Amino acid sequence: MRINKFLSEAGVCSRRAADREILAGRVSINGRTAVPGDRVTDADEVCFCGMPVKRKEEILLYAYYKPRGVVCTESRKEERNLFQELSLSERVTYMGRLDKDSEGLLVLTNRGDLIELGMRGSRAHEKEYVVRIDREVTPELIRFLSQGVYLSELDRTTRPCRVKKLSRYTFSMVLTEGLNRQIRRMCEAAGVRVRALKRIRVINILLSDMKSGELRSIEGEEREEFFRIIGWKNTKS
């Protein structure tokens, strides 16, 4: 199989991200630096950043309540990085990051191909947030955010989304894309500032009554429904 697919199935990253890591020279095959398009088998020694990686047969799938202040990175420069907080023996990565000042649900897995299916923009999978702002939520603000917002710094207009007022200063928002700091940028374009942002759902996975810092395995019907929605076929793994 191609090296980018191997890295995806090893849980290192998605295929697209694997291509970038290969071009950056961080991947080796049997001691030589890998190049895009290389093919490997399970008998080959594949290393990422000098560490051996293997494809994983068992699919690991977790829900994690990321606390505010934790950074979605492996960099040791960050005092509170996600993977130090998790302390898992297995290598996993996240499906859609949350910035340092945001909290809430991260879906974690050891399979990059699952992340690719879940995050593919063309499939318009939903992610739901609760947002608290510094001004009153008005009907005009709801309409502005719902219809799609032009973000000049990204030169892109966001997709129309569902926005619902929850209280004087809070609203819920359901997105089907994941642009960098999207909600914060949309609110800034509307002239308001985000005071708190929490993700409460990714596709069918709910944060529900999880506590900050809590990790749980996604099992049973919830797991099967997640696989069905994203289009994953091998649900027995």
Write out the catalytic residue numbers: 99
Amino acid at 21: E
- Report yes or no: 46 and 3 within 8 Å, Cβ to Cβ: yes
Contact 165, 137 (CB under 8 A): yes
Other C-beta atoms closer than 10 Å to the C-beta of 2 total 15
Burial-class residue 87 by CB neighbours within 10 Å (0-12, 13-18, 19+): exposed
112-119 and 220-230 helices, crossing angle to 10° = 70
